[in-house]
Amino acid sequence: MYLSFKDLDHEQFYEGNLRMTRSQQDPYRKALFYLLGSTPQTRQHIRDLYDFDESCIRLSSLEQGWQTSSTMKLTRLAFNLFNGYTGDIEAGQDHPRNYSPYHLFDTSLMPYFFEAVKLRYAEYARSLEQPYLPFTPMNVEADFHEANEMEA
């Protein structure tokens, strides 16, 4: 599957974290690192977002001051694709409505959000790819002459 990256830093972050965590075949971490690599802020704060020793996300990062409205949306979707997290209203941590498409996709990062969904659900996204349709180039000159002969 072809992936669209925002820039070279995004691609290097994604590839490097997959190699470091040995998760090249893990659709959960592929989606997570793809999203978390799409902004300079989330790349800079990756250790606030992900615990490499425990191989898990850090929910406390949702409450940190460096988060912007766009990085919050990105982080919420990344966490949701990683393990289905949708906030915890009983614990007072984030409201589940913040994980709905209505609240998540209102950002210029939306094209990368779709790419992450395709990474996470690759087995279903394959059916969206257009099959290769072979075609034989027409001999335009021969067809032109043939058409003119028929008119005459």
Q: What is the pLDDT of residues 54-104, one digit of tens each?
A: 999 999 999 999 999 999 999 999 999 999 999 888 877 788 999 999 999
HEC letters along 99-152: HCHHHHCCCCCHHHHHHHHHHHCHHHHHHHCCCCCCCCCCCHHHHHHHHHHHHC
Q: In the predicted model, is pLDDT for residue 28 greater than 80?
A: yes
More confident residue, 144 or 6: 6
> What is the band of 126 on the pLDDT scale with cuts at 50, 70, 90?
confident
Give percent of the chain with pLDDT exceeding 70.
Answer: 82
Mean pLDDT of 114-142: 72
Tokens 């799409």 belong to residue? 38
Contacts of 84 (CB under 8 A, 6+ apart): none
The per-residue pLDDT for 80 is: 97
What tokens were used for 71?
């990085």
